[in-house]
Amino acid sequence: MIDPVVLKGFRDSLPKDEIPKKKIIRKLEDVFSSYGFAPIDTPVLEYTEVLLGKGGGETDKQIFRFKDNGGRDVAMRFDLTVPFARFMAAHHSEIGVPFRRYHISKVWRGENPQKGRYREFMQCDFDIVGADNALSDTEILSMMHASFAALGIERYRFHVSHRGLFSLFLSRLSLEDKQIDILRTVDKLRKIGEEEVKKLLCEITGSAENAESIVSYITAGEGKTFIETLETLEKLSGGESEHSARMREIYTNLEKLGIADCFEFDPSITRGLDYYTGIVYETFLTDLPAIGSVCSGGRYNDLASLYMKEKTPGVGASIGLDRLLAALEELGSPLLSDTAVADVLVVPSERKETEAMMVSSSLRAKGLRVSVYLLPDAKMKKIYQAAESGEIPYLLTFSETGFAIKDLRTREALQGDEAIETVVKDRVH
Amino acid sequence: MIDPVVLKGFRDSLPKDEIPKKKIIRKLEDVFSSYGFAPIDTPVLEYTEVLLGKGGGETDKQIFRFKDNGGRDVAMRFDLTVPFARFMAAHHSEIGVPFRRYHISKVWRGENPQKGRYREFMQCDFDIVGADNALSDTEILSMMHASFAALGIERYRFHVSHRGLFSLFLSRLSLEDKQIDILRTVDKLRKIGEEEVKKLLCEITGSAENAESIVSYITAGEGKTFIETLETLEKLSGGESEHSARMREIYTNLEKLGIADCFEFDPSITRGLDYYTGIVYETFLTDLPAIGSVCSGGRYNDLASLYMKEKTPGVGASIGLDRLLAALEELGSPLLSDTAVADVLVVPSERKETEAMMVSSSLRAKGLRVSVYLLPDAKMKKIYQAAESGEIPYLLTFSETGFAIKDLRTREALQGDEAIETVVKDRVH
């Protein structure tokens, strides 16, 4: 016998996990399609050089990398951004820009598994490339808003900021060359707190005054409206600029779309990565602040510089699906609570097997999900257990004269000719 | 610059490929759910020993296998059956039987890529485990039928046979010990023809008479009805048996369900694998016989014997999604012909950017997929090109006084207040 174990950091997805996951993915796909975003897919395995660049970086140790049977140095993708950049370079002329894509798929990282962290997880990315204007920034934010609405999440906030604006501010302090270290430190604010950030910034910039200035910039949004914060930051970064104008334009758009209330200007948002150049954003669930951002991204200057000369500016975001699922579960989302594998369990009692199949066909034609109980000789106790373990709410049994339907949640028998219509009304949406 | 190439045998999926693939997967998932089948997922990477057993066989050279960073011998799954067997052993007590699952996902094989064969491809498996009776056999066949109906495929035939019946027949010829070689040879009938099969069978069985008998068994269905063939094979296998009774019961079920016409008894179907013990089937498209079976499977005695002592009999089938997609394309399926990324392209002409976004929101609320054209200063020629490359049928532009919609296929302007309703009627289903 071989022990049927999975690798550390990997896991099976049982129906109770997979049913809600599929439901959520469908809802997101429907929103993305309604915004004209097209799905793409890329190989799970790629040349290591293509994924890591010629050097390779910190991710290097964290990836599943090996020599294939033909001796090629290959690796499993660790995110969906790098494959998208490679994809754009490869199909640039065929697909044309502006191009909107979404990609919902698994990625793999060899990092040490911790609570809630796995070596195999689902990522959901969406981007617009080939346009650099407030219109495309707004489309992404509007689609994020529509996605959260579709998932029935009510209490959340989009925190946005602008990397260009922050860079202007740092230039005024003559700190442009320390920008990357400063960004990474600011990014830790939520985790380590203001005092610790100030200490680190003092070390990086060599001046308590600089550290103080930066902290007052990144906390300038507290207790202020979006526009008030924007005005403050505009002053701190040396007055009106294309960056502050862009943010103003985006906010006007959000107001006209009637969704501005969900957004706050939070200059502590920087997204650690070097990559972003314009608006950046993170999304926090009001009732679960500790889990961190569930949807993050921003605008970048050039997606595919590793693979081609043409510049591809873009704007996009990424949803950590596993984290979002865990959050929805904790919030008691109705999307996750109904994990029934079927609406009706049809029991071919009294040896009415073909009748059972025929009734099932007619119920399916009405849109119901019907499971035929496959062991006609089983005791009723076992049948009830099956219904319970599949969370199936209705039971249909046969008698000499016809069939009867029971609501297993209330233990009530449904009476008369309308029994089926009652079930349809309850279960088909 | 790094060359943005993918590995040999791998490929990107562009929107024109991915949109129909997702459409087909959704249709199949809806059918599977309507039969009470639950989705599961398993890790892409597993311990090599778990996937290959303690020895490892022919597949050994064909898999992507490596040592991970922790020195573990791991491999990427090469099918969805072995992971399902491992899954059943691991979660047996938690999920209970009978259990119905489907699993639509990628698998990887290192075999040499040929035309239409890839190293990464989509598999779609569905099985019922924990029940061994005509009822579950029929449920699988009925669901296969419903799947083909949902995909709008009209001209196809399910070819079924019974491995147990064939075994009885071989026993009568005292050829049980050569069964595996005989099965593999018979399985080649479509590929190499009757004469070649006869020659090989003669070598295997050492007798021209035996070869002749086997060939007359496997061709006994030609020109006969299902029941006539069953009666002939019943005689050839020594008279009534549980196997012939099972086939008779299944056929009666199919008749009562009104779908028996799609099935023919074809005793040349054996499925090469050792694994099957009961009914076996393959599915052929009448207009594309050359591509072979697009949906195959059968009944087996024991799924998870490698991992546990409890017997898990089951019945299931597998659809090669990539092959099916290629077939649907060749058949000119309407599912594949509409690969529009959106229904309407909204052009924020006259600098009406916020109006464009607001109109788009209201169109989306009506169920339309709307792409906002993101370069407001572009020339009309470029905009038309964008609509064409995304196969978007309608164009909405703004004027000083309002907006106008054009059907890009007919080049006609839609008049009056009903313009939007016309588009909704055409595109929202």
* Digitized pLDDT (tens) for each residue of chain A, 429 residues in all: 999 999 999 999 999 999 999 999 999 999 999 999 999 999 999 999 999 987 655 556 689 999 998 899 999 999 999 999 999 999 999 998 999 999 999 999 987 766 667 999 999 999 999 999 999 999 999 999 999 999 999 999 999 999 999 999 999 999 999 999 999 999 999 889 999 999 999 999 999 999 999 999 999 999 999 999 999 999 999 999 999 999 999 999 999 999 999 999 999 998 877 789 999 999 999 999 989 999 999 999 999 999 999 999 999 999 999 999 999 999 999 888 889 999 999 999 878 899 999 999 999 999 999 999 999 889 999 999 999 999 999 999 998 888 999 999 999 999 777 899 999 999 998
Q: Which one of B354, B377, B423 makes the best mutation probe of the A interface by having the most chain A beta carbons within 10 Å?
A: B354
Which of A3, A50, A136 faces B4 most closely, judged by CB atoms?
Answer: A50
Identify the pLDDT of residue B56: 58
The CATH number for B225's domain is: 3.30.930.10
Residue B38 lies in a domain: yes
Chain B interface disruption, residue of A1, A2, A353, A382, most B CBs within 10 A: A2
Residue A10 lies in a domain: no
Among B293, B318, B336, the domain-final residue is B336
Q: Both A22 and A73 in a single domain?
A: yes
Co-location of A294 and A349 in the same domain = no
Looking at B336, B360, B392, which one is the last position of a domain?
B336
- Prediction ipTM score: 0.94
pLDDT of amino acid B121: 95
Examine the domain organization and report whether B270 and B284 are in the same domain. yes
B344-347 vs B370-372, strand pairing mode = parallel
Q: How far is CA B201 from CA A64, B88, B178, in A?
A: 47, 38, 10
Q: Tell me: do B387 and B253 sit in the same domain.
A: no
Is residue A133 within 8 A of residue A26, CB to CB? The reply is no
The CA distance from A187 to A165, in Å, is 16
Is residue A5 one of the residues assigned to a domain?
A: no
Inter-chain residue contact B375 with A131, CB threshold 8 Å = yes
Is residue A271 in some structural domain?
yes
Residues of A in contact with B309 (CB under 8 A): 1
**A273 and A189 co-located in one domain:** yes
Same domain, B169 and B312: yes
Contact (CB<8Å) B136/A374: yes
Q: Are strands B263-265 and B156-162 parallel, antiparallel or unpaired?
A: parallel
How many Å lie between the alpha carbon of B285 and the closest alpha carbon of chain A?
24
Classify residue B354: in a domain, yes or no.
yes
* Residue A118 domain boundaries: 15-336
| Per-residue pLDDT, B59 | 54
| Confidence at residue B242, expressed as pLDDT on a 0 to 100 scale | 98
Query: With contacts defined as CB-CB under 8 Å, which chain B residues touch A90?
Result: 4-6, 12
A363 and A301: one domain? no
In a domain, A302, yes or no: yes
Residues A258 and A322 in one domain: yes
> By the 8 A CB rule, do A202 and A208 touch?
yes
Chain centroid, CA B166 distance in Å: 26
Any domain includes B4 = no
Please tell me whether residues A239 and A351 are part of one structural domain. no
Residue among A2, A34, A341 minimizing CB distance to B364? A34
How far is Cα A388 from Cα B84, in angstroms, rounded to an integer?
Answer: 23
What letters, b where the CB count within 10 A reaches 16 and e where it falls short, cover B365-404? eeebbbbbbbbbebeeeebeebbeebbbbbbbbbeeeebe
Of A36, A70, A386, the CB nearest to B96: A386
Q: Looking at beta carbons, which residues of chain A come within 8 Å of B61?
A: 69
Q: What is the CATH number of the domain that holds B422?
A: 3.40.50.800
Interface touch B390/A36, C-beta < 8 Å: yes
Task: Say if residue A56 is in the same domain as residue A90.
Answer: yes
Which of chain A's residues have a Cβ under 8 Å away from the Cβ of B110? 68-69
This prediction has a pTM of 0.95
Determine the residue among A372, A382, A383 to mutate to test chain B binding: the one whose Cβ has the most chain B Cβ atoms within 10 Å: A372
Stretches where chain B sits below pLDDT 50 are: none
Q: B203 to chain A, minimum CA–CA distance in Å?
A: 35
Q: What is the predicted pLDDT for the residue at B116?
A: 66
Out of B11, B43, B68, closest to residue A110 by CB: B68
Quick one: which H or E segment has residue B165? helix B163-172
Domain termination site, one of A336, A364, A387: A336
CB contact under 8 A, B142 and A308: no
Whole-number Å distance between alpha carbons of B139 and A202: 70
Which pLDDT score is estimated for A336?
87
Is residue B5 situated within a structural domain?
Answer: no
Query: Count of domains in chain A?
Result: 2
Same domain, yes or no: B373 and B298: no
Clarify whether residues B322 and B385 are in a common domain: no
- For residues A246 and A134, the answer to whether their CB atoms sit within 8 Å is yes
